Amino acid sequence: MAKPLSYLASEVQASTTIAIDTMYKKMKADGIDVIGFGAGEPDFDTPDNIKDAARRAIDENFTRYTASSGIDPLRAAICARLKEDCGVEYAPSQVIVSNGAKMSLYLALRAVTDPGDEIILPAPYWVSYLEMIKMTSGVPVVVETGEETGYKLTAAALSTAITPKTKCLILNSPSNPSGVVYTRAELEAIAKVCVENDIYVISDEIYYKLVYGEEFVSFPALSEEIKALTILVNGVSKSYAMTGWRIGYCAAPANIAKVIGNYQSHASSNPNSIAQKAAQEALVAPQDGIETMRQAFEERKNYFVNRAKNIKDISIIEPKGAFYIMMNVSAYFGKTLSDKVIENADDFASVFLDKGLVAVVPCTGFGAPDFIRWSYATSMDNIEKGLDRLEAFLNS
């Protein structure tokens, strides 16, 4: 009889968003008229200047191993962009470039987590945070948020969750899946608690360029004290429509960056060489295209919000950033839709995909079991059709 597999690995659940996107793509490939609102990626093409930089890298045979933490020009470009956009300064040696921001998050957790350490995670949370904590032998401490706090972690709730085993807080602003954006005052209050209790913070700021009517505040820019405890995670996927290029990065105090760099050198050698050149171009070139994309997302968001307000028995969290909308569908739990009794958000999403031909993500895996998540990183035509189908589905 074969020996059992790793208990730790066996406990990790598959990504809900990837599972839904896989089902959607299969239905699409089978010729079914399905509309997808699942995947978290811009529907814009990568800008031509970035693609040209990748072609030049290939033509110049920039196709070999690079330094494990990323090429120096890219790390310098990241530092310059963080200083200009976020008002926070790092040396290139404090930046580690990885194969996507997801890998950066995992490495950040690896750097600070010992078995049994408690990692505070505000809910709703991105589905992979919980699994990454388990993958690094940490203990997730989920702090529920709700309408009364705008679905944000408060300093008071954070203080209550802290124990002698608390090691780190994961903070995401703008947030996936809720789209909430923390104000400067809210972040300052959280930072005060973290400094007083000597807690690390992993600040995921991957959506920082996609904010609507709010000020974006980078967490480590608040003070030198909180910067010394913060691992900032970002990347080029969302701002530059480069999801498939897989370039993310973290910026951290020198001692933490060194540990992350050492770990990566053994885990993945280095990020893709060609994609690094493309990312460098994205960061140093004029940034006008980002605003064009942001405005398009804002227009779609406004349409979705205004339309959703008039749909019976559902409510939404109006986003201030990113490109997601969380929709509360709990009013339909226990009711029958398309001849199926809806017990939870998973049932709702499954039947909506099967009968309504619309792919959305149930937020059970996001710590918000009453909700489904829509991504409005799709065309206005798809959004209109998707909401039409939702109304028809709810009337079934």
Which domains are delineated in the chain?
7-45+289-394 (3.90.1150.10), 64-284 (3.40.640.10)
Model confidence pLDDT, tens digit, residues 191-245: 999 999 999 999 999 999 999 999 999 999 999 999 999 999 999 999 999 999 9
CA distance 305 to 289: 25
108 or 5: which leads in pLDDT = 108
What b/e string do you get for 203-240 counting C-beta neighbours within 10 Å, with b at 16 or more? bbbbbbbbbbeeebbbbbbbeeebbebbbbbbbbbbbb
CA distance 383 to 142: 32
Other beta carbons less than 10 A from residue 382's beta carbon: 16
Angle at 200 between CA 227 and CA 175, to 5 degrees: 85
pLDDT band, residue 290 (cuts 50/70/90): very high
Q: Is 72:95 a contact under the CB 8 Å cutoff?
A: no
Average pLDDT over residues 339-361: 94
Measured distance between the N- and C-terminal CA atoms of the chain, rounded to whole angstroms: 51
